[in-house]
Structure 1
């Protein structure tokens, strides 16, 4: 545990802390707001203007991205800088201990390219990784496997940042990390959401000595209004920028990560089992991002471009919209359109469970899942007057389709695939457009809120628990079965929508498997139901995922619940679904950046040159 220091807040720098004799690991320091230099910036859900825009869940991160744009950086530079800042202010959702998916549009070439920076299972990960060896039964997911080294995949975020900057950026990795280094040292003001997330994870965090030291200083979550500093993370970022990404995967910090995964630093203060993991130095050294082809499909004259496998986001958003395109939602309005949305999403989720996984290991029929003929046949299973019993069956994506049907008949369907979805809801998303028209949609995560709960000692960042996204019981017919070296299926859906060949809308969201429904419902609201982007994004949400009941926000149930129940839909309440961040390029080139007004405490959207 680090000793207390007497440096003034103004001079609480790394040099000062060392000067007063701190020899242990530099851990997080909290101070009262009155004494601190950090401030709590206002959150702005909508900003309109020119010169570039950034939208994210956090005002500190958005401000850093915007400053990069102001100083001449491009969309990639700003995206990496914003993501690094989110690793400071949203450490339970994202950071260098996790992974994500990066979608980039190049205004000069007109190309869209994507980076798959998803975490990877260690080569030695056994099929029985989530089975209790004493009983042969699956561990309870929460908290036995969520808080474990066995759930930690090889992180992909540092490699993603490096690859994106090398391919499209003008900043070096060191330059892109500098604002986040300053933020980690200076600190940010704790809000109610940060304290709540810390308290929600207090038992898990207290089980790991290095995590409790950083995130539970003095044995409690930081108070609202306190300033939260993370000098360990600042030092790690500084070394990453100076030494380069190879240091993370083959240098001293790689050894520290492996040791932490294989021997989690237990505090002995709880009875959580915290099973050790299987990661090796060779697993880290072998990590590489991949560059999959983006998914593409047409929806009512717009081209929707998204993320391909190992994410299921692009195909499932795409299939849902393709099914809905068979129906005139704009003429329906209200609950009838939402009934069609719920049924179409359920069909697409059935196909997701049947076909989607890491396409380096399983044959994913991406082209078929996004074909209009497959969507037409699947639309035959959608009854406009009644909800089908859930779960519905998966379709046959074999290229032999019969779309000559009428709604209500379901030809050629396969067996029902009913596999529990365990994807964690805590992720973050950012959207960026620069002055030259380059666009980035970037979703990144450490999985569960707080990831694995395991902080690398002295490094200030949490490791992911992404491997819990695999199916927990090995089934050779399951495309998301556990295999060493494989990437677990994701729902992350960073998306760019084009109108007449030009970028029109960029969006994405956190939310685990509800990411897909959040992106889809926002697009339906905007394109079909006539809402402007702020209204489309703020509207109450439901998350149909081919389950017996539909998760829905309280406002959604209050507004549409009774009418949709008449169709046969059943609901459970979810307080919040998603936390989207989006930017629309208006017809005159003006940028409208939009973030959540309330979910997760509200996001923040900014433009370089605001318009009145």
Structure 2
């Protein structure tokens, strides 16, 4: 079974300056040359690309994201007295401007929060939901009675659009933990959208990758392919429609999105996609109705928790499979002293534990509102002990492995159940992640997405944001036994795995990543690199990666293949070079994280090279 699963320039300078405070009156514009005030897309003005620093060490608070403008927005909130939640929402809103092909108000995500005052980790599930009229055969082409081709046909569609949860998540997080209003949190991103930002190679390449898809819609083509061309590297890209949308939401609240004037416009774009005349793609229409937007609710959830080498590792519970799968793999791996093993041996065990945890993910995890997810069993040390019996330190399991039996286990070695498992899903490898710590010790780890790079490809006309294609994370063909089957009002299973690690009740580490189902293995490998293999957090993030999702082949980045393939092959592994089916790159994930050390010393880390490199910053840099 197959799953289908980036005002004037002076105002921008004033809004985003963080190193020396607000820009003084009379500061030079941020770009050379004029920028007209009402035009979407790129201007001819050239401007230097903002610097990206992948690592920052200091105190007083920190932000890490994939984008320097977004990181600066969040850091400025911290400098002005906002807390981690205030900064996280402001950063996420800015990512909706500068990283629109990975995140935005047309999508959803998972927000994990540690409160310094209470010592508690809590989460918000802002996952998209299927419309109430979503049929079980929604992904079947009525002309052929076979599933739509996943890419580009199904992902470029109205039928793939779920009810967005991002705005509801922002509002809920701010009301629960923030000190600022949603309107205040949207203000920096609104200025950024109106003034524009400097186009980098990643932004341009993502437009070029989506040229056919974006060209299928009048509204999307108008914004991202003006004159038929992708924005040039170094030009300034502006989105006044999105600025106006943010302003409307700031004035009227999320009701404008879920119940007000935006709602019927979103529904219209889904049910009657704004295609060009005679599009080259079929663009199946969707089933969304205004009542689906009215009925959307984010969900407060208890986090998952496992103990690992004296630490408490908290993650995201279902509808995400991130916390349960990372947690189960850690429970299996805790039985081995990885720090004392040769690197190849430790990586072998990591890959084996991943395969076992993914087998159980596929068999048991779905939306808990509609599926009885045996979460306590999946996170049980006894269950992990029984699963670990299958691991041979000197040989590789025949894959795919069967799921374990959660109805009867005692920690003793037993044979496989024979439960059929699925190949890895095609949950898209984009998405974005951010990490924030404030001066009081509050922590936010937040992963948000619109799924496919560019989501559904549909920009809501005159509103400046892309809609998700998150429903492609459901299984393509309906199977009543599949926990990830299509159902009305259901949340599709996700792999997002925002994770916070506590030591003696205090936050030690927070990390997360995009990457579709490779998110789970990316987060797991970073944790092992940092906690077991002696790497610093920046080194743990930068290290080459491999992913094992219960398939015969281990897929890995080229540097991993070069360093470790020979040793793993000797243990029976089949290691091949990973290639993203959507982007053609060989990169796995694009993580961010922050470590909290002694005396509140913060190490904020982002990718040094993956996806163009990320951006980390601290309020007060450590003085050498």
In structure 2, the partner of 1:18 is none
In structure 1, the partner of 2:44 is 32
In structure 2, the partner of 1:402 is 410
| Superposition deviation, residue 571 in structure 1 | 2.4
Structure 1 contact 303–498 (Cα < 8 Å) conserved: yes
Among 379, 390, 393, the alignment partner of 2:402 is 393
Cα deviation, 1:18-55, whole Å, max 9, x if unaligned, reads xxxxxxx9652312343x6xx52211111111100000
| Length-normalised TM-score, structure 1 | 0.94
In structure 2, the partner of 1:576 is 587
In structure 1, the partner of 2:21 is none
SS in 2 for 1:158: helix
1:498 paired with 2:514, answer: no
Structure 2 contact 431–451 (Cα < 8 Å) conserved: yes
In structure 2, the partner of 1:202 is 211
| Superposition deviation, residue 569 in structure 1 | 1.2
Q: Distance in 1 between matches of 2:172 and 2:255?
A: 12
Structure 1 contact 26–458 (Cα < 8 Å) conserved: no
Q: Distance in 2 between matches of 1:335 and 1:155?
A: 42
Among 412, 421, 425, the alignment partner of 1:421 is 425
| Length-normalised TM-score, structure 2 | 0.92
Among 208, 229, 240, the alignment partner of 1:231 is 240
In structure 2, the partner of 1:67 is 76
1:152 paired with 2:161, answer: yes
Q: Cα distance 1:11–1:57, how it changes in 2: closer, same or farther (>3 A)? A: closer
Structure 2 contact 160–468 (Cα < 8 Å) conserved: yes
In structure 2, the partner of 1:475 is 479
In structure 1, the partner of 2:16 is none
In structure 2, the partner of 1:585 is 596
In structure 2, the partner of 1:278 is 287
Q: 1:529-548 residue pairs with structure 2 within 5 A?
A: 529-548=533-552
SS in 1 for 2:448: strand
Structure 1 contact 58–603 (Cα < 8 Å) conserved: yes
Q: 1:314-463 residue pairs with structure 2 within 5 A?
A: 314-398=323-407, 400-405=408-413, 410-463=414-467
Q: Cα distance 1:11–1:431, how it changes in 2: closer, same or farther (>3 A)? A: closer
Structure 1 contact 32–225 (Cα < 8 Å) conserved: no
SS in 2 for 1:270: coil
Structure 2 contact 424–551 (Cα < 8 Å) conserved: no
Structure 1 contact 333–529 (Cα < 8 Å) conserved: no
Among 169, 174, 181, the alignment partner of 2:183 is 174
Structure 1 contact 84–177 (Cα < 8 Å) conserved: yes
Cα deviation, 1:141-173, whole Å, max 9, x if unaligned, reads 011110000000000001000111111111100
**Structure 2 alignment gaps of length 5 or more:** 1-6, 13-36, 579-585
1:143 paired with 2:147, answer: no
SS in 1 for 2:283: coil
Structure 2 contact 41–224 (Cα < 8 Å) conserved: no
Q: Distance in 2 between matches of 1:141 and 1:29?
A: 29
Structure 1 contact 69–608 (Cα < 8 Å) conserved: yes
SS in 2 for 1:360: coil
SS in 2 for 1:473: coil
Q: Distance in 2 between matches of 1:454 and 1:343?
A: 40
SS in 2 for 1:174: helix
Structure 1 contact 26–232 (Cα < 8 Å) conserved: no
1:560 paired with 2:564, answer: yes
SS in 2 for 1:291: strand
Structure 2 contact 264–290 (Cα < 8 Å) conserved: yes
Among 233, 246, 250, the alignment partner of 1:241 is 250
Q: Distance in 2 between matches of 1:523 and 1:222?
A: 37
1:594 paired with 2:600, answer: no
In structure 1, the partner of 2:50 is 41
| Superposition deviation, residue 416 in structure 1 | 3.0
Q: Distance in 2 between matches of 1:567 and 1:351?
A: 24
In structure 2, the partner of 1:507 is 511
Cα deviation, 1:236-272, whole Å, max 9, x if unaligned, reads 0010111101110000100100000000011125320
Cα deviation, 1:257-290, whole Å, max 9, x if unaligned, reads 0000000011125320000000000000000000
SS in 1 for 2:299: coil
CA RMSD of aligned residues (A): 1.5
SS in 1 for 2:301: coil
Q: Distance in 2 between matches of 1:397 and 1:490?
A: 21
Q: 1:289-304 residue pairs with structure 2 within 5 A?
A: 289-304=298-313
Q: Distance in 1 between matches of 2:412 and 2:292?
A: 50
Q: Cα distance 1:160–1:8, how it changes in 2: closer, same or farther (>3 A)? A: closer
Q: Distance in 1 between matches of 2:99 and 2:588?
A: 18
Cα deviation, 1:319-353, whole Å, max 9, x if unaligned, reads 01110111111111311100000010000000000
| Superposition deviation, residue 570 in structure 1 | 1.3
Structure 1 contact 33–189 (Cα < 8 Å) conserved: no
SS in 2 for 1:588: helix
Structure 2 contact 431–515 (Cα < 8 Å) conserved: yes
Structure 1 contact 27–460 (Cα < 8 Å) conserved: no
| Superposition deviation, residue 550 in structure 1 | 1.5
Structure 2 contact 402–416 (Cα < 8 Å) conserved: no
Q: Distance in 1 between matches of 2:281 and 2:552?
A: 32
| Superposition deviation, residue 418 in structure 1 | 2.0
